[in-house]
Structure formats: C-alpha cells, structure tokens
Structure 1
Amino acid sequence: FALGLRNPFRFSFDRSTGELYTGDVGQNAREEIDIITLGGNYGWRVFEGTRCTDLGPESCATLAAIPPIAEYGREGGRCSVTGGYVYRGTRSTLPSGAYIFGDFCSGEIFMFHNGVQTVLADTELSISSFGEDESGEIYVVNLRGTISRIAGSIPGQVSQAHFSAPQRGLDSLPAARVGLPFAAGYSWLLGETGKSLPHSLALLSSEQNGVLIAESAIPASQPVRAGRIPALVDESAVTGIALTNPNTSDITVAFYFTDSAGSDSELRRITIPARRHMAAFFDEEPFLGSESLGGTFTFMSSEPVSALALSGTINRRSEFIFTALPIASLTSLTSEITTIPHWEQGGERRTEFVLVNPSDQAVSGELQLSTTEGLQWDVLPYSIPAKSSRRLSTPIVEPAPRSGSARIVPAEGPSPTAFALLQTLAEEGPVTQAAIAAIMPGTASLGFGDAAAAIETHVAVANTSSSPATVTVELTGPGANEDARTGTIQLPPFGQSALTLSQIQGVGPLTVPFQRAVRVSSSTPIAVTFLRHRQNQRGETLITELTPMDESSAVPAAQLYYPHLALGDGFEMEFLFVNSQPKGTQTGRIFFFGEEGGQLPVTLQQRNETGVCREQRRSRWSSPIRVCS
C-alpha cells in the first residue's frame, strides 16, 4: 500500500526499471508527480506538493513525507495534472528516461528529465491521457477525440523561469525561440508571497538579414485604466500599441484620435477577451485611424489593461527602426518642471522633442535647452490644444555637435508628458532611435550597467538646480569581475554629463563582459537616465534608453506585466531585474504567454558576450508591404 495521495490520475510503469509513476491532482495550488514505493506516505493533506497546507492532522515539521519528483503551480490556466509515461522508445524521439506528462486545462505537455522540468509543447488539447506503443513511443489523448504521437522535443524550452536579484544587485534572463516560429504575447512577473518585485526592463532586439537593426527597452509596469500617446502615421513612420488584458473576464477598451488642432474622432470600442493580447499599428485593424495621422491616441478601459506604445520608422534599407514610448497618465497630472536628461544635435545625431497634453484644456509653456556647461542654448515655446501633441526641434546652426539637457517649464495648465526622440542618421536614413523621457528630478536612482565587446553604458545626469552638484556613481551588489567601486561627477549649475562607466573617475576602467547594478545619487536634485550604446555588425551604434528607478518614488508591487513579447524570426529579448533594497534578495517568477493566453515556450540562453547575435532573421513589427517596398 501507499498513502497520502489526494487524487492520482494515470499510473504507469517505467518499462525499463519497473518504477510506478503517477500524477496527483492538487486541491487549489499545486500539481505533482510521484514515484510510488511500498508503504510510502506522500503527504496529503499536510502537504500539497511541497507546500505546507497547515490543514493537519500532523505538523509539516514532523511528518516524514516523500516529496514529489516534480510539481507546478496553477498559474496561467493550469488546473489538473495528467500522468504519462517514461520514454523508452526505439526511435530516440525523446531523451531516454524522460517522464512525459501534461495539464488538462492548459494543454501543455511537460518533460521531466535529469531533475529538470520543461514545457515540451504548448497545445490546444484537453489532455485526458497518454499511451505507449510496443516500441515505447508515447501518444497523447485529447478528450475531444484525437490521439497524437509525440514526435520529438526542442531542448531548453520553458514557459516560466525563476529570477533572483541580490541586494542592490541584478539578474538577467536572455530569451529567444530557438527552433520555433515567431510568436507574440505578454509576460507576467509574480513576486514571492508578501514581497515586492525588483525594478525590471526587457530589452527587445531585432535582426534582419543577419544584422542587428533595432533595440528598445520595455518597462515592466502595472495595468492602467487610461492613457494617451502621440499618434504618427505617414509614408515612413508609424505608431502602434500593444494591449494585454490581465483580468479573468473580458474588457472593453474605448479609443479615439485627436488631431493637431484638438478635434476628436468618433469614439470606438474593442473587446479584449480575458488573458488575451493584441498589438497593431494605428493604420491597421482594429484602429484604422488614417493613412496620415498627427496628434494623439487616447484609450480608456473598463478594467485595468497593460499597455505599451511603440513608434517606428522605415529607412531606405527597408529596415524597421523602433522604440518604446512613454504613455501619458490622464489622472496623475502635475504642474512641476520636468527634465529630459539628455539630447544631442549636430553631426549624425538629431533630436526631436515630442510633447503630449494629458489634460482636457490647452497648455502652454517653454522647452528650455541647456548645454553640458549649464548655459542656455535655445528656448522653444509650446502651445498645445486640449488632448493633442506637438513636435519641436531646434535648427542646426553650428557644425559641431551639441548636447545637454532640456527642461519643460509650464506656464498655463499641467506639464505635458514629454520625451526626446534621439536619432542617428546615415545616408540610408535613421539607423537608430531612442525615446528619452522627461522625468521629475530626484536624489538617487538605481539602474543597469552593461559593458561587452560591442556594448557600452552611458550615464546621463543633469543638474536641475542653480548650485553646483557632486554626483556619486556606485557599482553595487555582487559582481563577478569587479569589486565595489565609487566615482564622482562634478556638474555646474544646470550642467549635464553623459559619460561611459569607464570614463567616470573612480569607476573605470572596467573588465568586460560586465553587468552590474549602478546607483547614481546627489545631495541636490538631479535627473538621471542610462543610455546603452550597442554596435551592430555594420559598425553602427544603436542607442537604447534604460530608464533607472527613482528610489524616492518607487511603488512596491507584487505583480507586474510586460505588455508585449516578440520572439523568433529575428526577435530576441533579455529581461533585466535590479534590486533597490539595501537588504535581502528579491525573487520571483516570470511567466510567458502567447496572444491567446496559453503558455508560450521560450529558450533561456547564455548571455552573448559580444552583445550581437548572428542568426538571419526578419522584422515582424513592420507590415510586409512596407518592409518589401
């Protein structure tokens, strides 16, 4: 006999060893796989998997229960384990000795091999059973009336992963879809019970014809009820949005466009089913704004929705260059001065300033540009109709490149949500663009420091006060190649600096590859951002803003979302986690979902030390017509 099983579903013997396996259906939290032994106690109802239930009759500390060999939680639509078979087939389509099992609700087929549990396939099946033929090949039974043979595996595929960021340190997870087709979707971050999540960004990169052509950072964020973004559609540029419904019921999203004069289009609505994802540009279904758009796009959701705005340009190489955009809040309005920490003008660099009016009234004020020395370089007045936007730029009158910071100073109405669109130009048009957001000044920020053969991190910091500032830059948390280092930057009143980590006295030089958390602080208010410079195979430099976390305004969250994932066909992502806590490790899990809400298998890779991938792939954000024109 054996005891302590709750609801075993599908026993099977390993035809090689004679061991008896079973899947045991949990009550409401864990599903488990057990190897049954004579007289064994498997813990129910004191344990559900390895989880202590506190239901008694014995305490978890004293019960000598046999733990499961594998288990999983009920996140992401999982509900009931279906036990399978140990593979001993003659075709070698699966690793010998791997135990294959599934989940009835999610349709996932799992493989447990050498102590590691992975997702073998993410299907639409209602998995009611498994079978084994004479040669040891394994079949999966669908309750809806089909039987399919499992023909092989793709190594390394997972639909969830664990991350752990040590105190004032970071963790990273590079992800791709090796051997699998392109897939879009979203991701859910879940912290340990009762604990907050670390600050997190996802780097989305795209290759075309074997060349890295674009990279942008997507922030992990909490769902919102409404937002507003600039809307631009013309012959070479386009804006779009990704929306994910994290709720367990359908939501309705209402939206409208506002032109540059402040006139609104008709209000339209779309329905996003529970746990589903959608992404489209504004000249595509379901938006179909116009072949030529300016102004803004506003959305309002019946329940909180996770949102990402994306802007892209197609250059003369037919390459789609994209960047994520900030989304203006319609409720958290302020009349405070905000600062864009970095802009560049001249040479191969161009900066355009985009201002979005988050209010229902006209706003006006000035965009004040300062140089690195703190001298005023230009003043651009703005006047924006209600709910609309403006794009401002300064003429290039000097041959020498200029750089510095910009302040948005409101005169009437709240401050616009603003960003600098920084582009690098070549004969073929733009080769990179990055949106650098306007932020409120603070005194301490924590971000991602990165260096490799093709990667450098620049720390852009602006002094927002009329007094000189001493800025401290610290490498924090554990690191494999560097000891803790501290450097300083001296800034004049309203001055600005954008140095690589190696150029900061007391921090550099660095040994590459290098990846550490970096803390930037001052006793006076400063505006900080990090700019990642990554060189592609053509020797062109791609720039990505890595927005740091302002330690004074960080809001603890137990769960966050990445509104958009794009993996395969040239797209890869790297998920970055930085812990701002002075003590303790921040841990959690990241779950990957497809557009339809099912688990999305991905490949977690080793980090590429050069920062450049070499597979030939194509872009999926641009429409096929535009890419091939």
Structure 2
Amino acid sequence: MVFCVAGLATGRRDTALAAVTIQLEPVVTAGLDRPLYVTHAHDGSNRLFIVEQPGRIKVLQPGATSAATFLDITSLVLSGGERGLLGLAFHPQFPTNGRFFVDYTRRPDGATVVAEYGVSSSDPNVADPRETVLLTIPQPFENHNGGMIAFGPDGFLYIGMGDGGSANDPGNRAQNIDELLGKILRIDVDRPESSSKRYSSPPDNPFSGSIPGRDEIFALGLRNPWRFSFDRSTGQIYAGDVGQNAIEEIDIIARGGNYGWRVFEGSRCTNQGPAPCNPGSFISPLFEYPHTAGRCSVIGGYVYRGSKSTLPAGSYVFGDYCSGEIFLLDRGVQSVLLATSLAITSFGEDEAGEIYVAALGGSVWRIVNPNSPSAASLYYPRLVSTGGSGGALDDSEHTGIAIVNLDTSETTLRATAFDRTGAVISGSGIRNPAVMSLRAGQQLPIMDSEIFGVGLSAAKPVGWVLVESTLSKITGLFLMFNASLSVMDGADVSSNTLTSFLLPDVEDTGFTQIHVANPNGDPAEITFELVGSDGSTRAGPQLRTANTNGCVVALVSDLFPGANPRASDYVKATANRPVVPFEYMGKTGQYARGLNGQDAAAGASTLYAPQYAVGGNLIRTSLSVVNLDDAPGTVTFELVGDDGRNIGNVRQLSLAGKGKLHITDPKFFLDPGGSLIDGYVRITSSGPRLAGSVAFGDPGESTFSAALPLVSTLLNDLVYSQFASDDTYFTGLAILNPGETPVRATLELKDRTGAPIASKVENLAARQRKSQLLTEYFPAIAGEKRTGGYFTVSADGGIASFAAFGTRTLSVLCAIPPQRRP
C-alpha cells in the first residue's frame, strides 16, 4: 500500500520514512459539554468514556453517536479555566471489581482531589455515586492543576500534578521534594495504609520510607504534565509538559527523574534558579518545539499500538491546543499529521489501541487512515491442521473458513497464521501471510491448506489466524473437521475481543480444550478458574501468558490437574489485554463441538436457546446456564413450540451466585416417549445476569454433537457466510420471534459471486419459530448441487436465529450462530 504525502514537516525529514495521511472521523459531535478526555474500561465492552470538565463522565456504546451519563459529580467540582473534572482511570481489574478513579478540583477551594468510585451493581452503564477520597492536594493558584491519572503496567496509579500555578513556579514547588506539586506521583490503591489513608506508596518510589522527600513522588521537575500515557508495548511513560512562554516538550518519564522545571523550560535555561543551568543534572526532553506558528500548549498523546495500521507502529501522536495541529513523532522525526480548527484538549485510546481526539467545543473524533492497509480484522481463534496418526480413529484435523465481502467494492485480504508462541508459521510448502482478493458481494469458502499451502499439515500447526481486510464490511465463520468428515463443528468470527469471559461448557466424557488468541502488540496474561455449580472455585486460579500474537492452548484437565472437571463446571477467566477465547470439546474421531468465549461483563436476565430437541432415539439436548452475578436467583425455563405455545411443564430452579445449572434430563419438560419433541427454550431469571450454551447430539454421545451460545441480544440484520445443499449435505435455518408482536423477515440466498439465487419473506407471529431446511424455504434449489454461497436474513423486529450444517445421515452436525452484518 502506498501512502500519500500529507502535512508539512516541521523538522528534519528522513526520506526513508513514508508520510502518513489521516482523517478525523466524527464519533460524537453533539451533546457534550467541554470534553477533556476519552478512554475505555478494558472490559471487553468496547465502550468509550468521555470526561466533561463541569463534572460528568459520559458513556458511549459501540456504534452509538450520543453518550449517556455514567457519573455526575458537578456538585463537587469547581469548574472553569484549567479547573474541573480532569482525569479518569479504570482499575486494571475493573471487569471484576468495578473500581475506577477520578481527578478533579473541588468546591470551594480548588484543591485537587483523587477519589475512588464504583460501578453500580445493577447497571454496568451507571456508576455508584458514593465516593472514597484517596488524596487531597491544596492548590495555591487557579492554573496548572495537571489532572491526568492512569494505571501503569505495574498496577499502580500514576497522577500528574502541575506546579501549583501562577507563572514561573513562584514557590519553586516543582523542585521541592517535600511538595507533591510539579510531579508525577505513584500510589498503590490496592493496599491502603490505614482506614484513614486509602492508599500506600510503593516501596521502590524514589523517596519512599526513610529517604527524605514525599513517599508518593515518582518523578519531579515538571511544570504542568497535562496528559501522559503508557506505551502498551514497552510500558514507557510519555508526558506532554506544557511550557511557560517559549518551549513545549515531550518527556520519557523515569522513576526518580528530574525534568528540570523551573531551572529549564525544555532545553532553555530560564535563569530562575534555584539550581544552576547544568544540563547534566536534569533529564532533557525527548522532543521539544518553540512557540511559533500559533503553537503554545502541548497536548500529550499516545504511542500507536493499534491493529488497523492507522499509524506506524511505535510512533507517537500528540498535538497543540492553540494551533489545533496533530503531530506525529516517528523514529525521532516530527511531522504535522493534520491541521485542524479544533481546540484539542486530549487524545485517548480505545480497547483496540485506536486513537481519538477530544475537542473543547464539544466533540470527539477518531483518527483514521484512508490509506490504511487494514480497515477491518477477523480473528479465527483456532487453527489446527494435521494428517493425523493413521490409527483406527480418524484424529486428523483441518480448518475451513468462509469470508463474505458485503462492501460495494473489491477488498484485499491478508491472512496470517500464528503458532502458539506468536511466530508466523513457516516451512516448506507454506506461504504465510497469504494475500487474496474478494470482489464486492463475493464469498470465499477455503480450506487452511488452500490458503497457506500444502505444507501446512506437515508442520502440524496449533495456533490461530488473523484476516485483515482493506474494507470494513466483511464477515465470516470457520469449521473444524477431520478428513473422513466424522467430526465437524464451527463458530462465527468477528473482531470482538474480551478481557473477562467464561467458557460455559465442559465435556466430562471426552476432552475440553481451551484456545485463547492474543491479537495485541504485547503479551497478555490470562487467569483461569474452574468454577463449580455452587459458584465456588474448584481449582485455580491458574495464570498463563500468551505472547504477542501468540495463544494459550490447554486441555482443562491439564490446566487444573487433579480437579476432575465435571459437566456441571465452567471456566471463567480474566485477561489484562483484550483476547479472543474459544473452547473445543468432544471425543477424538467421534464428535466435536465449539463455542466462542462469552463476555462476563454482559449477559442478560432473559436468554433463548434457539433449538431444543429430545426423544425419538435420535437426539439429546443439554443446557448450561451460568449466573454472572454474585447474588443467587431463581431461573424459569419454558419449552416453546414452533407455534408459540408452551410444551410440557414450566420449570423453576434455584441458581447460586456465580453458579451453573447443567440440565441433561430428557424428561426435564415432559416425557417425550418415542416421539421427537423440538422447539426453543425461553430462560428468565429473577434478576441475575445469565449466560450459557445449548448442546445437542445423538443420545449415545458417540456420533455427532454441536453447540450454540444462548442468545442474549436479538438482532434484525444477519448473515450466514456459508451453506451447502446437495445429496450429501444439508443446511437448515431456524428463525425465532420471541416478542409479542409479529415480525416480517426477508431471506436472501446468494451464490459465491454474490448473485441472487432466491429470496422470500417469512411472517412470524408473536413467539413463533420457523425451523426448516433451505430446500424447504426455497424448493427451487432441491436437487441442485450447492457447495458454496451465503444467505442473509433481514427483519423488521428483533429475532434469534441459527444455522445447522450436516450430512443427511447425521454422521456430523454443526451449528453456527448468525454473523451480525457489519
């Protein structure tokens, strides 16, 4: 990809560096009051949190253009000028403990307050207004309040403090180690010193303990470090320190470092003292620029570590409040990325490492690169390819993927296969990465060896696949199968990542294998626990590390040795980086089923199992329902027929906090006798959030099995990226309208090129389900040999759905959730 030249160089340009083009994509342009900061909660929700100067924090849901109030402390905040609600930081374990921290100037005296809050126990999008004050720092003047707070990779909270204000630091506070002003502070919020002092200072702080100086100080000699950030990859701290009248500077902050203010302003001697201007006594800036061309106030930014190649990896983005310019510092060379008319107050990151801009006038923007080589990514969390051992049981394994380009023009796909260590898989007969083109509307069904070469199976890789697209509207799924096709199942794929998740299904008569892919630019630490039906931890926690672009692959029995995992157990996990979890279960050579990990921060009080069938000596069904909350509750189960009427008994069961219900009894709702009974299940709780899965297979647990996540969110625009219909294979589709009003659903069947094959409208009454083979929806394709293509479902109301692929002899069966249309 060739980058176009954009912007003007403001310093020496190295001709070896390609210039970068960026644009600002609007995220929120109305309804905000003086936004000063934007960040995320690293909880897998992909929400953005926007800090407003008067004292509010807004939460923005993925894809939304207006934000709702998360926390309002305007009654506590003294706002105006450089005062206000200035900083926000979410605890590294926020997905499990709900803790977050703010920095504000208080009424009426303008002192800096660092305080702790928590998320509401009933609504993850609302904060509990109860406050715990950790630190109060008097401010002698109205300006230079600092305000940035952030957790470092060491788990400690870092706090940026200005020098107290006025001009030229009249109290020489930045150089005074007995003052907290003009410093970067570092405190431990998890180990309070006492009931009255709700934090402690790490023992390796430079002035800790008996060493003269304040325990909290991490670095000193700063004028007003308004914004600083941590490089996700290296952990280095980059700070933008606002200058006096001449110089703006970017510093790399080190423990115990003295950055020279007020002796130096950047590299310029101020002649203010108190020390002589000896450069060797202080740490010089990484970069500085003068007050020319309307520039006057640096806004510190971020080292780019995103996955969309918006900017060069490892480059640093920052800006100037007065000029509205956005700068790039790449390998020591500064350039102007974009000149804007915005009063830039801050930069921010989302969970994926993409960078945002906040502007005082009331807007938030995302930095995008129209020439970026990757506009979207799909994560295929499991790649196994081997010819097997050649024994009686076919233990070979292969992976097939399907991708659909729903955009209006051709996209270029780049597929990269990584092994467990994060290395790009290589070897004789392997081409990796692989580049492919996909025309508008086209579908690509392809096997692993067709993508990466015939040498792949010989290498016997265990890893995962990243597919990057130059266009954003792509979707896909993957299938896992053996050579004899006696084993098959699959799952949908997306760009979603999680930091807190559960794997609800455990196979107690075969194996359960966990795969967790790490698509980040730095290692991810994942902590696993095996949880029993009563919500207690049966084994763990076990910590595993996934290297950069690596993955954790482990059998549950190996991860928790001696625990004897049971079907009534589940696995829960947290990660310090967004990851892609998946579980693969079964019996070697007999059956397998797969499930994507489920978001432990999500869930719902009403779930749907879109398929439930028992009886007739053909099929069995089991349900796994997990309580995501600490509080116990009651769960109600209703089996509903395709006509919307209840079948059998309505059942109620108690569910412990964090516990699991595992239902396998074929007579749970009624005794089916020799008849086949099928429908869907409505699952409601008395309050706790639920998640889980449904699995179905042959009664003897020896031939076929498939699994689906329980549905918590109804959709109205779905894609199924593959279908097959011929003498050997069938594809079935279930569409469920669980609401109380009718729904009109349009089905469109397309071939591999995107050309229409057939379409029809299905009208679903309230609570009704339609479950048929594609040849029943579209009789015209009966007798045709269709081994590729895709179909879409669009509805005027929320629906649940799934597709089933299998052989007509039911030697294999797989179930695939719908893919959300991007």
Structure 2 residue aligned with 1:301:
575
The letter of the residue matching 1:278 is V
Aligned positions of 1:91-130 closer than 5 A: none
Higher relative contact order (CA 8 A, sep 6+): 1
For residues 158 and 422 of structure 1, do their structure 2 counterparts lie closer, same or farther at Cα, with a shift above 3 Å needed? same
Q: C-alpha distance in 1, partners of 2:663/2:791?
A: 32
Check the 8 A contact 2:445/2:788 in 1, yes or no. no
SS in 1 for 2:448: strand
| Identity %, equivalent residues | 17
Answer whether contact 2:621 2:696 (CA < 8 A) is retained. Answer: yes
Name which of 709, 725, 743 aligns with 1:437.
709
Alpha carbons of structure 1 residues 470 and 400: separation in structure 2 relative to 1, 3 Å: farther
Give 1:496 deviation, angstroms.
Answer: 1.7
Aligned match of 1:256 in 511, 529, 533? 529
Residue 652 of structure 2: aligned partner: 381
1:490 CA drift (Å): 4.3
Structure 1 Cα separation of the partners of residues 576 and 718 of structure 2: 34
Q: CA separation in 1, counterparts of 2:462 and 2:540?
A: 30
Who is 1:188 aligned against? 466
Task: Tell me: CA distance 1:483–1:216, structure 2 relative to 1, closer, same or farther (3 Å).
Answer: closer
Q: Distance in 1 between matches of 2:811 and 2:415?
A: 37
Q: In the aligned structure 1, how far is the partner of 2:758 from the partner of 2:595?
A: 33
Residue of structure 1 equivalent to 2:771: 498
1:184: Cα distance to partner?
A: 0.8
Give deviations 1:324-380, integer Å, cap 9, x for gaps: 124231222433x33222222112111111112222322322121111222201423
Q: Which amino acid aligns with 1:435?
A: A
- Distance verdict in 2 for CA 1:483–1:254, change over 3 Å: closer
SS in 2 for 1:299: strand
Rounded Cα–Cα distance in structure 2 between residues aligned with 1:342 and 1:118: 33
What is the SS of the residue equivalent to 2:775?
A: helix
Shift of 1:118: 13
Report deviation, 1:469.
4.1
Tell me, yes or no, if structure 1 residue 405 matches structure 2 residue 680: yes
Taking the aligned partners of 1:489 and 1:475, their CA distance within structure 2 comes to 14
> In the alignment, residue 466 of structure 2 is paired with which amino acid?
W
Q: Distance in 1 between matches of 2:477 and 2:442?
A: 14
TM superposition shift of 1:503: 1.0
Code of the residue aligned with 2:674 in structure 1: it is: P
CA deviation after TM superposition for structure 1 residue 153, in Å: 5.6
Looking at structure 1, the residues matched to 485 and 502 of structure 2 have their Cα atoms a distance apart, in angstroms, of 33
Q: Quick one: structure 1 residues 190 and 550, their matched pair in 2 at CA, closer, same or farther if it must change by over 3 Å? A: closer
Alpha carbons 2:545, 2:552 under 8 Å: kept: no
1:242 and 1:280 in contact (8 A); partners too: yes
Q: Distance in 1 between matches of 2:770 and 2:733?
A: 8
- Partner-residue secondary structure (3-state), 1:502: helix
Alignment of 1:389-538 (within 5 A): 389-393=660-664, 394-395=666-667, 396-414=671-689, 416-425=690-699, 429-439=701-711, 440-447=713-720, 448-476=722-750, 479=753, 483-505=756-778, 508-509=781-782, 511-534=784-807
Q: Secondary structure at the match of 1:283?
A: helix
* DSSP-derived class of the 2:487 partner: strand
- Which of 198, 221, 245 pairs up with 2:474? 198
Match of 1:334 in 2: 604
Q: Give the 3 Å change call, closer, same or farther, for CA 164–398 of structure 1 in structure 2.
A: farther
TM-score, with normalisation over the residues of structure 1? 0.57
How many angstroms apart in 2 are the aligned matches of 1:301 and 1:329?
Answer: 12
Give the drift of 1:302.
1.6
Q: Which has the larger radius of gyration?
A: 2
**Aligned partners of 1:479 and 1:515 also within 8 Å:** no
Q: Is the 8 A contact 1:489 1:504 kept in 2?
A: no
SS in 2 for 1:449: coil
Question: SS in structure 1 opposite 2:800?
Answer: strand
**1:175–1:28 CA distance, 2 compared to 1 (3 A):** farther
Indicate which of 545, 548, 560 corresponds to 1:271: 545
CA distance 1:276–1:524, change in 2 (3 Å): closer
* DSSP-derived class of the 1:274 partner: coil
Superposed CA RMSD in Å reads 3.6
For residue 404 of structure 1, report the CA deviation from its aligned partner: 1.2
1:529 partner letter:
F
Secondary structure (helix, strand or coil) at the match of 1:503 reads helix
CA drift at 1:205: 0.8
Instruction: Find the aligned partners of 1:214 and 1:283 in 2 and give their Cα distance.
Output: 22
Q: Which amino acid aligns with 1:380?
A: R
Give how far 1:204 is off: 1.2
Distance of 1:391 and 1:502 partners within structure 2: 34
Consecutive unaligned residues in structure 2, runs of 5 or more: 1-14, 20-332, 334-372, 375-413
Give the drift of 1:431.
Answer: 0.9
- Deviation for aligned residue 1:214: 3.0
Q: Which amino acid aligns with 1:407?
A: R
Q: Which amino acid aligns with 1:374?
A: G
CA contact (8 A) 2:520 2:548 kept: yes
In the alignment, the residues of structure 2 paired with residue 349 and residue 410 of structure 1 have an alpha-carbon distance, to the nearest angstrom, of 27
Matched to 1:219, the amino acid is V
Amino acid at match of 1:325: L
The amino acid that maps onto 1:525 is G
Cα distance in 2 for residues equivalent to 1:367 and 1:272: 39
Q: 1:241 to 1:266 in 2, by over 3 A?
A: closer
Q: 1:164 Cα shift?
A: 4.5
Matched residue SS, 2:693: strand
Q: In the aligned structure 1, how far is the partner of 2:570 from the partner of 2:562?
A: 11
Q: Contact 1:420–1:437 (CA<8 Å) still a contact in 2? A: yes
Partner of 1:589: none
Does the 8 A contact of 1:339 with 1:441 survive in 2? no
- 1:44-59 → structure 2 map (5 Å cutoff): none
